[in-house]
Amino acid sequence: MTATIVWNVSQLNCLPRAEGQTDVVVTAHWQCNGTQVQDGKTYNSSVYSTTSFTYTGGAFVPYPDLTLETVLGWIWANGVDKAATEAAVQTNIDNLINPPVVTPPIPWNQS
Within-domain flag for 89: yes
Instruction: Give Cα separations from 46 to 5, 34, 40 (angstroms).
Output: 9, 6, 20
Domain of residue 23 covers 4-96
Q: What is the tens place of the pLDDT at every residue in 71-97?
A: 999 999 999 999 999 999 999 999 999
Within-domain flag for 15: yes
> Which pLDDT belongs to residue 36?
98
Within-domain flag for 108: no
Within-domain flag for 109: no
Strand ranges (DSSP E) for the chain? 4-18, 21-38, 41-52
Within-domain flag for 81: yes
Q: 0.85 exceeded by the pTM?
A: yes
How many domains does the chain fold into?
A: 1
Within-domain flag for 62: yes
